[in-house]
Chain A
Amino acid sequence: MSGKPLRIPAGLVSAVVALLIWQIATTWGPLAGTSVPTATSTLAELWNMLFMSETWDSIWQTIQMALYGFLIAVAIAIPVGILIGLSRFAFISTKFTFDFFKVIPPIVIIPITILVFGPTLQMGVFLVVFAIVFALAVQTAYGVRDADPVLIETMRCYGMGRAKQVLFARLPAASPFIAIGIRISVSAAMIVAVVAGLVGGAPGLGHDLLLAQTNGQNTVTFAIVLILGILGLAVSRLVVFLQRRLIFWTAS
């Protein structure tokens, strides 16, 4: 990072230029007179929305779905992943099933969850769990299997039990894997919470976005998309920051 002192100015310059291009394109350029709002009116709308309690309620509902779903998924996936990782038989037995569900995007099962839960917070939470639990379990299992076999043998020679092996050899080996899994899961949780609202009708920003678009409130539509971008950026930054603090023993 040789250009570190230049980083913030570069970011500012590019953000301002991007906004200028947007503004020019929508006032004089090819997008003038279309349904695409100008940058200034969108930012004004965004500013207005910041003072409305509904906006903050929606943000909170979206975060709630993502957070509850994430916590439930972690509580299931990490123990399951450890158990699967401990036995080669269990690992191979579950691999195909988990890989299958891992690659099925939650949007596919939204029609079914609408039937079961209706457009509720629970639906969003369920979709978030479904979206991340399989990948996180597989990731944990890989990590547990990655423990140094010599270390495990040594511990066995010294008569340390399974529990101690897991605690002192397997979990430390797995933690970088789990950390990557968690970083991906947090972003996925936020995205799925928005999708649950947009496509499934669950409360929150996704639902607001759908309403704004179908009611033809174009500036609100764009303003919500901006909020989503800012929120996504903030969440991913926060996770990186927390991970640097918590898992300090792995580089990068």
Chain B
Amino acid sequence: MNIVIIEYNAGNIYSVVYALKRLGINPVVTADKAEILSADKIIFPGVGEAKTTMDYLKYHQLDQLLIHIKQPLLGICLGMQLMCKSSEEGNVDCLGIFDAPVLKFHPEKHEDKIPHMGWNTISNLKSNLYKNLTDNEFVYFVHSYYVPIIENTIAETNYIGNFSASLHKNNFYATQFHPEKSGKTGEKILKNFLEL
């Protein structure tokens, strides 16, 4: 299987590479448009800041490429947020694949620390991405902005309020958490994506 990881100015791409290697897949890390378009599946990872990253994607015309992808694509963390309509992080217009804003967490009490960092549960699971998973398994999150619950939500998490842990629309999938760092549960999710 030809899996492409989109290379751009985001951190942590190699964690995804290693995670796929553990599943027996040797992914290609590239920003080359032809290579991306010929992939069986595409992963759009990301740790970073929304505005800077969107500027980069636009400059390299990856934004137009991404929204027209027909293969299954999985956005991770910032990747998921950039697939939404807009982000409060830098007040930037994003790719608009999902019709939802990305909002800043507002703590309600001292214990609500930002970023939301660590292991939290996902529930209300839908779609084959969560095949063989049960509600309330733990996955690893690190983020300061969130996507509210929308019709494309396929997993929810509670921190300060309920938010989208995962989204799905047509060939586009996304997770706010890091499956590549989420132990055995994360491995199952990545495997499910590879088997879509």
Chains A and B belong together in one complex: no
> Which A residues have a C-beta under 8 Å from some C-beta of B?
none
> Which B residues have a C-beta under 8 Å from some C-beta of A?
none
